[in-house]
């Protein structure tokens, strides 16, 4: 997450939260989130750590679990909860929740995701073998961290795409594209598209 937070990128504030989150009693949401995570095969210790993580307000926690549920059948999806347990601020929690939302939207509207890794950030691979990186950010500039991410050896693939809710600077976009990345700007969250 340090590649995206803070520094060269600002987290988007765009979020649409379903009214049912606000209309459901807190205790019911907590139990519902726990049961959904258990149903996804997330280990109990990881669930407990996630549910106790103060970086995740209940509404963000619920959105995260709901959107992860759209990816529950994808290998590696349970590891996203382990990554979420490392969030130390609400900004990081919202970033992860929105990244999962964007990946779930890609999975449902573009090409199915067949594998997820969650080391540092959430990365998906679709059934065509393309690497898919979702970044719910307003702006990406070209910095040393961004350059490192764009050059990551584990992300070298025939097809690589970065989906941003905002924009890249002209230099960042030029450099990403020169490295073989396809850049998609103004991508939507699943909440914006489906609710």
Instruction: Give residue 116's domain range.
Output: 9-194
Domain presence at residue 82: yes
The answer to whether the CB of 99 falls within 8 A of the CB of 124 is: no
Domain presence at residue 118: yes
160: which strand partners? 131, 181
This prediction has a pTM of 0.84
Number of compact structural domains in the chain:
1
Tell me the pLDDT tens digit for each residue of 11-21.
333 344 445 55
The chain-wide mean pLDDT, for the chain, equals 86
Q: From 9, 2, 13, 14, select the one nearest 167 (Cα to Cα).
A: 9
Domain presence at residue 2: no
Please give the structure tokens belonging to residue 82: 């382990």
Amino acid 154: pLDDT: 85
Tell me the pLDDT tens digit for each residue of 172-193.
999 999 999 999 999 876 654 4
Domain presence at residue 1: no
The answer to whether the CB of 165 falls within 8 A of the CB of 102 is: yes
Domain presence at residue 3: no
């Amino acid at each position: 997450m340090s590649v995206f937070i803070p520094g060269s990128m600002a987290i988007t504030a765009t979020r649409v939260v379903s009214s049912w989150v606000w209309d459901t009693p807190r205790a019911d949401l907590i139990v519902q989130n726990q049961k959904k995570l258990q149903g996804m095969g997330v280990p109990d210790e990881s669930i407990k750590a996630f549910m106790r993580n103060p970086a995740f307000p209940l509404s963000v926690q619920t959105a995260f679990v709901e959107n992860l549920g759209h990816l529950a059948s994808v290998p590696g999806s349970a590891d996203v909860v382990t990554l979420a347990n490392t969030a130390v601020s609400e900004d990081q929690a919202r970033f992860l929740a929105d990244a999962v939302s964007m990946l779930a939207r890609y999975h449902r509207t573009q090409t199915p995701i067949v594998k997820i890794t969650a080391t540092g950030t959430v990365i998906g691979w679709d059934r065509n073998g393309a690497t898919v990186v979702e970044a719910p950010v307003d702006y990406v500039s070209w910095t040393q961290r961004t350059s490192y991410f764009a050059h990551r050896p584990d992300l070298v693939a025939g097809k690589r795409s970065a989906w941003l809710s905002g924009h890249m600077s002209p230099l960042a976009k030029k450099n990403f594209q020169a490295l073989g990345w396809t850049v998609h700007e103004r991508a939507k969250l699943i909440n914006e598209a489906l609710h």
